[in-house]
Amino acid sequence: MPPTLFSPIEIRGVRLPNRVVVSPMWQYSGVGGRPTPTHTVHYGRLAEGGAGLVIQEGTTVDRRGRGTVGDLGLWEDRVVPLYAQLVEVVKAGGAVPGIQLIHAGRKGRRNPPWLPGTPPPSADWPLLAPSAVPMGLEGAETPVEMTLRDIEDTVAAFADAARRADEAGYEVLELQAAHGYLIHSFLSPLANRRTDRYGGSAENRFRFLVEIVDRIRTVWPDAKALFVRLSCVDVEWTIDQTVELVGELRAHGVDVIDCSAGGITGLPFPGLKTGYGYQVPYAHQIRDRTGSRTMAVGHIVHAVQAQSVIEDGRADLVALGRELLYNPNWPLDAARKLGVPDPYVRAPARISHWLGKREQSFPGFVPSTGG
């Protein structure tokens, strides 16, 4: 039997060949919302590295929901063929193609993180939010409180983007409902001060996300998987509230919870100490308390570490981000270190053949299992 990290898992009608996931990572390289050769290179090399699932960076559902001018977007039908090409790149690399859908909300109109300054001079779209409450960052702008028409249009925009994602061939869809972006701000009592049916009680604050899920499920095929990324703990938000929300989401067709933390103020969750696997306990608690499948994130860097998360039942999937930027072949390397009989099988034949030859050049070599 292979290590559980490299065992397949079926989610609805989607079969992932292993439990290693490429986390969505913004590239800030789109032009007019469209992908560029940068994205082809980025997703191609990650897919060829052996991960079971590659989730495309947060892709905006509405021009007014962009985080930066370099965001990708799925707000019009004519771009579907461009994303279909990215899907084929990922599939040719041996991975299942996924996509994250996002509306930046009050975290919009920014520069890439290596070019600080808000808003960038070319930003000309409004900041939308559930309430006119700015983020707690110096110089943060006050967003515009969304009308009921704005809310309905945004729910429809998520569903339209999901339909386009299906047409492009993505098999897994994730909603970004964490880290201070629009959906998260509706969930949070810190950012949501509304007094209508979208604010106040937990049920009302959940409503926006639940309506998005319901509308997406009308256009996203039943055989395809739906993930939701949540900040499981945050300012004025506890793990108990996440458990309540996940129970609701499961009843509405969500398959996997991607378990992160913090972001509603624009800053890391106060008191959250980073370290190896520092957010894994959230995935473990949500899995145990709700029965939902979960994905663990947060400084998962070593093969044996990732294997233990899956083997011990703390999560069903592990997602890596910056570690894969450092080493896009991390999954192949981890398979070798964990003793998978044919560790390079997930790579295309033009790569796996030569890596096998390389292996034969080092008879008796036993790799370290730590990295």
Residue 370: the pLDDT is 57
pLDDT of residue 365: 60
Q: Where are the domains of the chain?
A: 4-360
The pLDDT tens digits along the chain (371 residues) read: 789 999 999 999 999 999 999 999 999 999 999 999 999 999 999 999 999 999 999 999 999 999 999 999 999 999 999 999 999 999 999 999 999 999 999 999 988 989 877 677 777 899 999 999 999 877 788 999 999 999 999 999 999 999 999 999 999 999 999 999 999 999 999 999 999 999 999 999 999 999 999 999 999 999 999 999 999 999 999 999 999 999 999 999 999 999 999 999 987 777 788 899 999 999 999 999 999 999 999 999 999 999 999 999 999 999 999 999 999 999 999 999 999 999 998 899 999 999 988 888 876 665 655 55
Three-class SS of residue 323?
A: helix
Active site residues: 181
pLDDT in tens, 85-118: 999 999 999 999 999 999 999 999 988 989 877 6
Handedness of CA 252, 253, 255, 258 (dihedral sign): negative
Indicate the class that CATH gives domain 4-360. Answer: alpha beta
Tens-digit pLDDT profile for residues 318-364: 999 999 999 999 999 999 999 999 999 889 999 999 998 888 887 66
**Which ranges of the chain does DSSP label H, i.e. alpha helix?**
37-47, 80-92, 148-168, 182-187, 202-217, 239-251, 280-290, 303-311, 322-326, 330-337, 349-360
pTM of the model: 0.96
Task: Of 347, 339, 355, give the one whose Cα is nearest residue 44.
Answer: 347
CA distance 22 to 295: 11
Question: Rounded to whole angstroms, how far apart are CA atoms 30 and 91?
Answer: 21
Three state DSSP letters for 100-132: EEECCHHHCCCCCCCCCCCCCCCCCCCCEECCC
